[in-house]
Amino acid sequence: MVITRNSTSDESSNAPITNFSHCHEGILSQLSKMGELPALALAAERARTWAESTRSFFREVVYEHHQEEERALFEAVLASATPGDELARVTAITARLTREHRQVEAQFAKLEPQLKKMAKGQACALDAAAIELLVRDYRAHAAFEEAEFLPLCETILSRNSNHMAALGLSLHMRHVSVAASPT
């Protein structure tokens, strides 16, 4: 004898079991997501740390570097350049580099509130395009300075050892006064 089941009655009689099965699928899916939390927490901690170290680095190193260039190096090279074409070239380059310093500082100032929030673990909409622009602009700035200006500085200042020594002393005194100042 063959027993046939009414498929409608089978589905309705198995519905509670099917519901438990679907519930388990949902629980396992959520637990899989939970399993990713340690890696995400590590990434979030790295983001907080990097955001704060970037803020500190920019404030303590980049701004100071720009000041040293403008107040010590640029002034020394301008004072030592031969009048005429060389002085005109140095004047144009230092004006360009100073503009670029202010530009990247302004770009950073716009990003700093976002970095501050991130460093505190607060939600923020980090402007990736602005970060890419800042990085690109600073790379171009540094490349120009390294390729064009610093070799020119060396040429100009090496003509007179006193000029190079004066620059070295000026930088030393700035660092000594920074180190001696109360924090």
- Please give the domain boundaries of the chain with CATH numbers for all domains: 35-180 (1.20.120)
Tokens 């970037």 -> residue:
54
60-117 pLDDT per residue, tens: 999 999 999 999 899 999 999 999 999 999 999 999 999 999 999 999 999 999 999 9
State whether residue 160 is helix, strand or coil. coil
Q: CB–CB of 89/153 below 8 Å? A: no
Taking each helix axis from N to C end, the angle separating 85-119 and 37-57, rounded to the nearest 10 degrees, works out to 140
Answer yes or no: is pLDDT of 165 > 90.
no
Which pLDDT score is estimated for 2? 46
Kindly report, residue by residue over 139-159, the tens digit of the pLDDT. 999 999 999 999 999 999 988
Q: How far is CA 1 from CA 4, 9, 157, in A?
A: 10, 20, 109
